[in-house]
């Protein structure tokens, strides 16, 4: 019978089967919790029922709390109260898991008396990825089942474990036969009844905790091991404290402590930011303005032109997804070098255990090298990753246009060039798209999908679907200088370069960005990438500090000197040489140097980035503010706990942002002229999230 729209209740023999069907992932929404609570109460009161099975239809067992309900007033029955109903049931409850039993879903399974899962199931507590901790007893129950150390690893990583591992750890009692979960769960329930097995409660178990008593070093070591990775994040420390409470406090008090630590996180902007990123990432995959029934074109064979760093990395993405790739280079030697590097990358990955050794040959078998562009004639998609020069790219596209089969998609990996200009070299501009990968292309998740004024809808849809196929986070952007990511990076570059000419040191600028949460500062990043990337030795003219540093052989880390000096372990120290170059250049420019404080560095860099993001949004180069956030969080290291430049701006309040921009414009000019979009939103009392 239907308990409500998402929960049904059936009795088979002496077993009540409570089935939840709440697409897409059976999240523990208000309706789901209410329905399960009512069904369990019904089973308890049903004299014909001896035990119950809790199972989900669709793709997965409960995948956690309904994230969109977090941060809002709690609606009864809360997950914790539902858990009490299950845990205190007078009849055994068997949780039957498939898909991904995550977060509150696994926490609900932990209050069942027995747990069974199919081998393909995965389970975990990923709350840390949302800036939270398992707030429904996960920090108190999981250690009681698998021990403190394993529980800390699982909760701090946020990664799921397989059902097989879970069985080995004692997290589940039985593995079902694949595809036979319901029947196997019923069998287990009958056995529990027949054998009169006890109503086991995880909360009553202490044996696994005893192993950790008197070993405070476990917590010290886990904090130390994760210090760098978790720098700036609040959730990890609260997680460790909650797990420490399992040793320090009786269960019920431990639950109170967990709730306190959870509440601190739930109302903090860090969790709001990470929940924003969770939904923004998924929203970015949706193409607005194109009919949802627009079919993607089949991509069965891909061509890549260029087997250098980018071309090789791009090709790997498709081989990794099982799509055959033909790589074309200009010479056999360049081709063989490129293929050697790809094989080396795979072998390194396999050595690290991140890939089966036999997959190296499988994936290399999908890569065909050629020095003849004509071999690309049967490709459905051809991506060029040749030298970043408009004439070179136009020439390549003109040739491709004559070679590629009708309907083939021609894609450019350009970072900055105008794709309309490139498309104009072909007779098929409607089939031209930008696929802007980020180096290393086989690693970085971000893919800017650039549509031009002519790109036809099915090409756009195909490219966005392809992004998902190759495991990238595709963000649809317009064809403008630097698209989204690099255009905002250019705004940051401008301010950083001006700041150091006016008196800030590169190390002060870098520290402000590092303290804000970037993995490394701006000038450190430049030294790492190489100051000579894009530098033309033959045309250099000491036009800026970067050129001058290149002209004196300071190309960054690779020459053990750029803005910083580097020792043999690449440890950097501020460079007096670079400082002198900056001072001399400033003097030549007639710039009177002055003390520049951290607040000015912070405001000029961050508000210039926000203002550029607003301009990008206003011009329609990005269709959502959250897309801009995803570009910078995924591709440029904006700290995830700050949600992205546009989310961060909304957090400051756009009226504050507008005032800052006006003040900065008066002092530092055009770059800070407030985007009209910001003025409009402020006038309407709105934020970027409403744009």
From 49, 79, 110, 464, residue interacting with ligand T1G (rule: CB under 6 A): 79
- Which one of the spans 128-136, 220-228, 490-498, 542-550 is the region binding ligand T1G (CB under 6 A)? 128-136
Taking alpha carbons only, the member of 441, 437, 379, 446 closest to residue 412 is 437
From 132, 425, 500, 513, residue interacting with ligand T1G (rule: CB under 6 A): 132
d(CA 247, CA 233): 24
Please identify, using beta-carbon distances, which residue of 275 and 660 lies nearer to ligand T1G.
275
d(CA 283, CA 279): 6
Please list every residue from 48 through 77 that binds ligand T1G, using CB under 6 A: 63-68, 70
Please identify, using beta-carbon distances, which residue of 139 and 495 lies nearer to ligand T1G.
139
Examine residue 124 and tell whether it contacts ligand T1G (CB under 6 A).
no
d(CA 548, CA 597): 26
User: Cα Rg for the chain, rounded, in angstroms?
Assistant: 29
- Which one of the spans 19-27, 363-371, 484-492, 515-523 is the region binding ligand T1G (CB under 6 A)? 19-27
Is 107 catalytic? The answer is: yes
Taking alpha carbons only, the member of 125, 121, 129, 159 closest to residue 145 is 125
User: Shortest distance, CB of residue 203 to ligand T1G, whole angstroms?
Assistant: 16
Please list every residue from 279 through 318 that binds ligand T1G, using CB under 6 A: 279, 282
d(CA 35, CA 77): 10
Taking alpha carbons only, the member of 413, 416, 401 closest to residue 307 is 413
Of 66, 127, 244, 547, the active-site residue reads: 127
Please identify, using beta-carbon distances, which residue of 117 and 654 lies nearer to ligand T1G.
117
Examine residue 135 and tell whether it contacts ligand T1G (CB under 6 A).
yes
User: Residue 114 region, left (φ>0) first, then alpha (ψ -120 to 50), else beta?
Assistant: beta
Q: Where are the alpha helices (DSSP H) in 301-356?
A: 309-320, 332-351
Number of chain residues interacting with ligand T1G (CB under 6 A): 26
Of 66, 87, 107, 329, the active-site residue reads: 107
At residue 366, the 3 state secondary structure works out as coil
d(CA 110, CA 170): 11
Phi, psi of 564, deg, nearest 5: -115, 160
- Which one of the spans 131-139, 147-155, 166-174, 374-382 is the region binding ligand T1G (CB under 6 A)? 131-139
User: Shortest distance, CB of residue 100 to ligand T1G, whole angstroms?
Assistant: 4
Please identify, using beta-carbon distances, which residue of 136 and 496 lies nearer to ligand T1G.
136
d(CA 557, CA 690): 43
d(CA 165, CA 302): 38
Site string for ligand T1G, 82-111 (x = CB under 6 A): ------------------x-xxx--x----
Q: Where are the alpha helices (DSSP H) in 74-135?
A: 79-87, 104-109
Please identify, using beta-carbon distances, which residue of 271 and 557 lies nearer to ligand T1G.
271
User: Residue 643 region, left (φ>0) first, then alpha (ψ -120 to 50), else beta?
Assistant: left
Please identify, using beta-carbon distances, which residue of 33 and 428 lies nearer to ligand T1G.
33
Examine residue 255 and tell whether it contacts ligand T1G (CB under 6 A).
no
User: Shortest distance, CB of residue 521 to ligand T1G, whole angstroms?
Assistant: 31
d(CA 184, CA 195): 16
Examine residue 136 and tell whether it contacts ligand T1G (CB under 6 A).
yes
Residues marked active site are found at 107, 127
Q: Which residues bind ligand T1G (CB under 6 A)?
A: 24-25, 27, 63-68, 70, 79, 100, 102-104, 107, 126-127, 130, 132, 134-136, 138, 279, 282
């Amino acid at each position: 019978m239907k308990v409500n729209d998402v929960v049904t209740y059936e009795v088979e023999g002496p077993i009540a089967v409570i089935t939840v069907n709440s697409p897409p992932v059976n999240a523990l929404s208000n309706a789901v919790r209410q329905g399960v609570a009512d069904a369990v109460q019904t089973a308890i009161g049903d004299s014909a029922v001896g035990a119950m099975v809790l199972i989900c239809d669709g793709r997965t067992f409960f995948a956690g709390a309904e994230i969109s309900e977090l941060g809002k007033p709690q609606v009864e029955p809360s997950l914790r109260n539902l858990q009490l109903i299950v845990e205190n049931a007078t009849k055994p409850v068997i949780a039957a898991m498939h898909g991904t039993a995550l977060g509150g879903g696994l926490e609900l399974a932990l209050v069942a008396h027995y747990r069974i899962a199919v081998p393909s199931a995965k389970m975990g507590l990923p709350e840390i990825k949302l800036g939270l901790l398992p707030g429904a007893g996960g920090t108190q129950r999981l250690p009681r089942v698998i021990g403190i150390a394993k529980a800390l690893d699982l909760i701090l990583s946020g990664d799921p474990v397989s059902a097989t591992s879970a069985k080995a750890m004692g997290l589940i009692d039985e593995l079902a036969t694949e595809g036979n979960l319901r029947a196997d769960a019923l069998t287990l329930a009958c056995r529990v009844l027949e054998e009169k097995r006890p109503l086991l409660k995880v909360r009553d178990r202490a044996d696994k905790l005893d192993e950790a008593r008197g070993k405070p070093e476990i917590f010290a070591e886990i904090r130390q091991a994760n210090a760098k990775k978790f720098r700036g994040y609040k959730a990890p420390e609260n997680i460790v404290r909650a797990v420490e409470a399992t040793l320090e406090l009786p269960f019920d008090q431990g639950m109170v402590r967990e709730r306190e630590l959870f509440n601190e996180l739930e109302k903090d902007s860090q969790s709001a930011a990470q929940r924003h990123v969770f939904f923004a990432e998924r929203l970015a995959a949706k193409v607005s303005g194109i009919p949802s029934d627009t079919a993607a074109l089949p991509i069965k064979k891909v061509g890549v032109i260029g087997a250098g760093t980018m071309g090789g990395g791009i090709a790997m993405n498709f081989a990794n997804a099982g799509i055959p790739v033909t790589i074309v280079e200009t010479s056999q030697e360049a081709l063989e070098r490129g293929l050697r590097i790809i094989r080396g990358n795979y072998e390194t990955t396999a050595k690290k255990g991140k890939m089966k050794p036999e997959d190296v040959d499988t994936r290399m078998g999908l890569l065909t090298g050629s020095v003849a562009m004509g071999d690309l004639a049967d490709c459905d998609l051809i991506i060029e990753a040749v030298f970043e020069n408009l004439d070179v790219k136009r020439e390549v596209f003109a040739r491709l246009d004559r070679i590629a089969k009708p309907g083939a998609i021609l894609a450019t990996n350009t970072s900055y060039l105008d794709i309309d200009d490139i498309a104009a070299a072909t007779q098929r501009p409607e089939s031209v798209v930008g696929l802007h990968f980020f180096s290393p292309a086989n690693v970085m998740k971000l893919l800017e999908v650039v549509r031009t004024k002519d790109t036809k809808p099915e090409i756009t849809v195909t490219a966005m679907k392809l992004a998902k196929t190759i495991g990238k986070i595709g963000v649809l952007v317009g064809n403008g200088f630097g698209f989204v990511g690099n255009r905002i990076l250019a705004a940051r570059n401008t301010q950083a370069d001006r700041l150091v000419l006016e008196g800030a040191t590169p190390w002060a600028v870098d520290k402000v960005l590092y303290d804000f949460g970037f993995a490394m500062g701006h000038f450190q990043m430049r030294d790492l990438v190489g100051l000579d990337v894009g530098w033309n030795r033959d045309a250099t003219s000491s036009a800026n500090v970067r050129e001058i540093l290149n002209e004196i052989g300071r190309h960054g880390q690779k020459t053990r000197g750029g803005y910083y000096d580097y020792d043999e372990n690449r440890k950097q120290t501020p460079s007096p040489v670079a400082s002198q170059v900056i001072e001399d250049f400033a003097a030549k420019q007639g710039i009177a140097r002055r003390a520049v404080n951290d607040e000015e560095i912070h405001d000029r860099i961050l508000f210039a980035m926000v203002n550029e993001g607003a301009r990008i949004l206003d011009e329609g180069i990005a269709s959502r503010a959250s897309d801009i956030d995803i570009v910078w969080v995924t591709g440029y290291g904006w700290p995830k706990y700050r949600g992205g430049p546009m989310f961060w701006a909304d957090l400051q309040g756009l009226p504050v942002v507008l005032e800052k921009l006006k003040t900065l414009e008066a002092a530092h000019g055009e770059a800070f002229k407030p985007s009209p979009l910001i003025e409009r939103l402020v006038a309407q009392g709105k934020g970027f999230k409403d744009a």
